[in-house]
Amino acid sequence: MDLMQVLQGQLSDDMLSQISSHIGAEPQQTASAANGIFATLLGGLANNASTDSGLSALGNALDRDHDGSMMDDLLGMVGGMIQGGQSGNATNGAGILGHILGDQQENAAQQISQSSGLSMGQVMKLMPILAPIVMSVLGKARNSGGLDLGSLAGILMGSAQNASQQGGMGDLIGSVLGGVLGGGQQQQQQPSQGSDMIGSILGGIFGK
């Protein structure tokens, strides 16, 4: 059980249809690009969480803006973002991307574009829609499961590593993560010893 699987499970047919219509793409292409975006954001978060300051900043952001409550109506949240009716840090996709990827956003978008077949413009429209979903999933995992920051870092490290090795889209994810993170720049941090417990908590929260 990892966060990549949880994130993929949030993309219902209705949500994919809604997002695809917004960016002008076929749902299959949107799903492929979404996999690359989710993996890239998990990699970026894992990279940030590999330092004390980065992990602390992530914890503060989750406490302040991302309690996971939006998971109760993700379709409504996405619809609101598409229509421009959402406001606040919780749905500020551009701000979230800036914190996670910094100046690597265009690099990530270019590689996802090449791998998924979407244009750069389409990928750049998709990324800020998906970024709040990632933070909502993290927030719900932390708050509902009572996870401390060390456990959350362990989940991120393991999920990013699993995403880069996932069959069927390993080339996409590997190239994106390699390009964005410099092919192994991130510091190594071992998941906490309670990984089985964490997995069962996540499974209970997200029904996986």
10-residue stretch averages of pLDDT, the chain, 208 residues long: 84 94 94 90 87 90 87 88 76 90 86 89 95 92 82 86 63 57 41 41 46
Task: Let me know: does 42 contact 111? Beta carbons within 8 Å.
Answer: no
Place of tokens 């209970």: 204
The whole-number pLDDT of residue 206 equals 47
* Residue 6 CB neighbour total at 10 angstroms: 24
* 193 token code pair: 């010893």
φ, ψ of residue 24 to 5 degrees: the values are: 75, 50
Place of tokens 């389409």: 122
Q: How far is CA 133 from CA 34, 53, 93, 105, 117, in A?
A: 11, 23, 9, 17, 23
The whole-number pLDDT of residue 127 equals 95
The whole-number pLDDT of residue 191 equals 38
* Residue 51 CB neighbour total at 10 angstroms: 14
